[in-house]
Amino acid sequence: MTIDAETRKQNSIRVLKARGLPVSDSLPEIEEAADVTIRSGEAIVYRLLCLTAVAQAAFLGRPGPVLPFVGRWKLDPHLTPQERALLQGDAVSEADAIRFSWRVEAMVPLMWAIGLIDDLWFPAEDVNAQEMLDYWQDFAHDDLSRIGHRDVEEILDQADLIYRLHGAVRDGAEGVLPDVVRERHHALNWLIGYEGDDWDDVQTDT
């Protein structure tokens, strides 16, 4: 069902208020369905594979053991400049280990978008990182171009909700994990092509 941006905004506000979270009505509406192009299922899977590689390197503290995975999926053209720099180093710095290990949380909405996760649960707890990475380490598919994604309206519903939830977090909301919210916001904004930015440059403004 097609809904306008203002209706989507009010739906999100109702969800957040029902959880007792502070919500600002001043945040504007996000894009309409006609104004966005959702990333292809194939692009989403390649993004998930790249995130698996860098998150695994972050947890291990070195990229070496991850390189066979990168080679098997021929990921180099799909890596961002920041990801490529991480994987070309000898060791992962403490700052990069923290930053890239959080990328497992960005994987959640991407997996949801292609139907691998049924429901996008509220970000009050973090995901089991090892289970996520194990899934993608063992992933196999004959033709990634055949992978689709959820309806644009459904994705925009989640993009709007996380946008307003991130605003609530920045206003001091409790009961949610700020880092999880940030990563989901990043992933959903990438999914809807917010500002046309590539992954490294995606904004999560509120």
Looking at residue 11, what is its pLDDT? Answer: 97
Looking at residue 1, what is its pLDDT? Answer: 67
Tell me if 197 sits within 8 A of 36, measured CB to CB. no
**For the chain, domain boundaries:** 5-201
pLDDT values of the chain reduced to their tens digit, one per residue, 206 residues? 678 999 999 999 999 999 999 898 899 999 999 999 999 999 999 999 999 999 999 999 999 999 999 999 999 999 999 999 999 999 999 999 999 999 999 999 999 999 999 999 999 999 999 999 999 999 999 999 999 999 999 999 999 999 999 999 999 999 999 999 999 999 999 999 999 999 999 999 99
End-to-end CA distance of the chain: 26
What does the CA dihedral 140, 142, 143, 148 come to, rounded to 10 degrees? -50
